Chains A and B, each alone.
Chain A
């Protein structure tokens, strides 16, 4: 018997994450206890703002820090998350969704934080958010989270839900593939070194604070290639614009999804995270009854890649299955406007069930 909290924690450490900085919160508590046992370094912060500030310090010093929280903690971390994004600091945040608003019901799962995360970086900048749908995803996407954080010099979020990370399941741990530890050797750059000068890949070479070779400057404010505050200069604005470009233009390098396409199907179920397994059962049930239906499980939930739009556009009717009030992922693609082509199977305060999804698709 094993749970996804254990799988994610182990995968992050095997991928090269160095330190867990945590403040306990339900339903991310298992991450806290497992990390205390497993991470080479573990720190208990006094509050969520301190947690993320400490992580930024660790990251700037060349380490890969990790934390786990839920919406109330994420809300407190938001300003610092913007700082980490602006400074281009690699790190991983695990967000376990629970029922809101506010403190809501700490031990009830949900998928209600997606729209908050979509706009969490002021200015509408993208940030990679991975949403595992099962234990195998939890393992592989945790590795991809560390890889993406380092490769793109960005915070990465693993977006989970209470039922996904706290439910124990029988599972063959030998089925997990060997993970690659992420290499942190600084990549080559065109001299002279400047901490925010990027090459063709749009990501500056990372050297940590305190290194003996190059002066390094990190900056949370609009800055030039040197890392010094510059208000509104072409160089500093281009530097900020680059934060979007590096993630949008190279989205295919970290965009993951699972498409179970059935020939001749007009119906597509689109889902993510904890609602994916229910949708898998729905598809099995419907196909058992002779109904043609395809299933798209989105695993890089943000930013949304063109592949996702193309798949959705190729079906006549789309049902979004999500454990929130209005269908947040659906709204991010189609807005709030109702059309006959779009259906939403949603649930508030409990898991969406396979039969409920099937009823909406039909």
Chain B
């Protein structure tokens, strides 16, 4: 630390005559110097408003941000520096504390090692003296404001959110000592300082009594918030590599739509089909569609199996549609094309013109989609069913998946209405 160097520059205070902000700035500087901080040990983070004019006054590192967001910016700086020898001090006004209250609560909740100084002059000084969320009702009455909602108590709110130290100070003579205590407290500290606005408030500090909230000091014993660093492994190292083990009879490409309900194994059946395709030397794509509430409603998956590399991953006209529940069928039935091979579960339409199978009956609710996939693979001979078994060998749920694949055998005696068309040309 460079204790001999001054924290303040020689720049003239930019505030109106009699403004209380100058006292706050000098007290902050004194507190830092008394604690032995040099200019390069400190990052001052400033907000918007009269309190946002402080940058040129400090010889420290400075960063001047947006209205109300300085506490959040300070959190990023403190976590990014991750250095207990550096001190992050954020300065904002009561307007900034109002618009950015969430950021104060978050810094408190995480107990980030930084100090927030809220200079409260009860109003928005830069835009004409409007009332803020910290303006007291007494002050609002004095200013003939219609708003009678009680002000936020940021000291209380910070404390209740977990701040290590939160305090309100009205007596100017106590500013430096309290700021020292705050800055010296590990974790998040908030200091609300009363300040005079001579342009839109009172002319003398003595006139402020009766318009400000009484002093308060609150303490929590909480661990200091930090961002944990860790060693990680490449995301490519845990990708399952699939080498060709089977042959496929496909000549060009085939697009399969699998339609069912949430929780019915539709997405995993599609993935098993796609992976079996890779094991059979094919290029594949797989995508899912489901409502944002993933646990209910339809679940639809599309798989493309192709002899050649796949560019466009959409399906203009599905070659095959496998529908196992009403939810899924409703979602995909308008996609049936002239050349589509359609297989539906009996519960969807027992007497419709499509091929009807008892997928749910033989595979169960969770296995019906994979049962349908298995049936279609076996029927077309696109590649051996063994490729499906091979994929599920390494699954956490090998036994039920094997059972679902095997269940398709129970559907074999059904006589097909026509030979499926699978060699679709793009």
Contacts and interface: CB of A to CB of B under 8 A. Distances in A.
A252 interface: no
Nearest to A54: B76
Contacts of A217: 55, 61-64
A53 B71 CA distance: 9
Given A38-B235, A218-B63, A220-B66, A61 B285 contact: no
Given A9-B235, A218-B62, A58 B102 contact: no
Interface residues of A, number: 73
Interface string A266-278: 0000000000011
Interface in A33-59: 34, 37-41, 43, 46-47, 49-50, 53-59
B78 interface: yes
A60 B63 contact: yes
B96 to A, nearest CB: 13
Instruction: Indicate the member of B66, B80, B274, B288 with the most A CB atoms within 10 Å.
Output: B80
B388 to A, nearest CB: 15
A53 B72 contact: yes
Given A10-B234, A209-B61, 8 more contacts: A1-B239, A1-B240, A21-B76, A57-B80, A170-B278, A229-B53, A351-B312, A354-B426
A80 interface: yes
A163 B290 CA distance: 13
Contacts of A215: 39-40, 59-61
14 contacts: A2-B239, A50-B75, A50-B103, A53-B103, A54-B72, A60-B63, A83-B66, A106-B292, A218-B62, A219-B62, A220-B66, A278-B312, A350-B314, A355-B316
Interface of A: 1-2, 6, 9-10, 13-14, 19, 21, 26, 34, 37-41, 43, 46-47, 49-50, 53-63, 65, 79-80, 83, 87, 106-107, 134, 163, 166-170, 173, 176, 209-212, 215-221, 223, 227-229, 277-278, 280-281, 285, 350-351, 353-355
B287 interface: yes
A60 B56 CA distance: 18
A281 B426 contact: yes
B338 interface: no
A220 B55 CA distance: 12
Nearest to B67: A79
B69 A219 contact: no
Nearest to A168: B286
B66 A80 contact: yes
B313 interface: yes
A60 B40 contact: no
Nearest to A220: B65
Given A1-B286, A61-B80, A170-B278, A278 B64 contact: no
A54 B75 contact: yes
Given A170-B283, A217-B61, A58 B274 contact: no
Interface of B: 39-40, 43, 53, 55-56, 59-66, 69, 72-81, 83, 86, 102-103, 106, 227-236, 239-242, 271, 274-275, 277-278, 282-292, 310-314, 316, 426
Given A40-B230, A58-B79, A53 B65 contact: yes
A351 B314 contact: yes
Nearest to A134: B311
Contact of B275 (A1, A54, A55): A1
B278 A1 contact: yes
A61 B313 contact: no
B235 A37 contact: yes
A277 B311 contact: yes
The 6 closest A-B pairs by CB, nearest first: A57-B76, A61-B80, A53-B72, A54-B76, A58-B80, A277-B311
Given A50-B103, A61-B77, A62-B80, A216 B235 contact: no
Contacts of A2: 236, 239
A351 B295 CA distance: 25
A125 B56 CA distance: 27
B286 A167 contact: yes
Given A1-B284, A215-B59, A351-B314, A54 B79 contact: yes
A1 B69 contact: no
